[in-house]
Amino acid sequence: MTEEIAEKKRIVKSIRKGILIRAGTFALTLWIVFTFVFGIRIADRNDMAPAIREGDLVVYYRCGDFVNRDSVVYEADGNVYLGRIAGCQGAVIGKTEDHRLTIDGRIQPVQPGLGIYSETPAGDLKAEVTVEPGRFFILGDCREESADSRCFGTIEKDQIRGKVFLLWRRRNI
């Protein structure tokens, strides 16, 4: 009888050890994935409204290259922002007299839900900007409210945390 109890205790201990090893491996894998490959952020402003609204959960991919129109998470002025790449290296960004965005001299169409290239409370582009190598010109979709490259200037690639990969609406559900 004692041997049976000892055997059961050994089996239970082995099962517990296996569960702990699997749970630890799973936790370590999640930590690695969400530290080096993906990131998570809750939108705390409406810079990208209506595409991404305050309170939405954003998962972003840290690896890879960035191209025009990518939605990205980036750092500027000590804060983290969401924006859309409007110009990559070599692009000339400007505005018309009626505050319409121009890229390489071409007036960009006003898209439904996106504001025109207007002044922000924090700043405005005073002259054309040529995007330097390794830098990006980033604008928020909600042009009237967002702080973006009109305030901070062009953004270095190292300041971009990643490209928006997944969006989970958490408001009004």
Q: Please state the domain extents for the chain.
A: 1-39, 43-168
Task: Name the DSSP class of 110.
Answer: P
Share of the chain above pLDDT 90, in %: 69
pLDDT for 85 equals: 97
Work out the pLDDT band at 78, boundaries 50, 70, 90.
Answer: very high
How far CA 51 is from CA of 22, 39, 87, 113, 130, in Å, comes to 38, 19, 19, 8, 27
Q: Which pLDDT score is estimated for 127?
A: 76
**pLDDT tier at 2 (50, 70, 90 boundaries)?**
confident
Strand 129-130 to 106-107 pairing: unpaired
CATH class of 43-168: mainly beta
pLDDT for the residue 72: 98
> Which ranges in the chain belong to alpha helices (H)?
2-32, 149-152
Question: Tell me: the pLDDT tens digits for 54-70?
Answer: 999 999 999 999 999 99
Q: What is the pLDDT of residues 87-141, one digit of tens each?
A: 999 999 998 888 788 999 999 887 665 656 655 555 566 678 999 999 999 999 8
Cα–Cα distances in angstroms (integers) from residue 151 to residues 15, 43, 68, 121, 154, in the given order: 58, 19, 19, 9, 9
Q: What pTM was estimated for this model as a whole?
A: 0.83
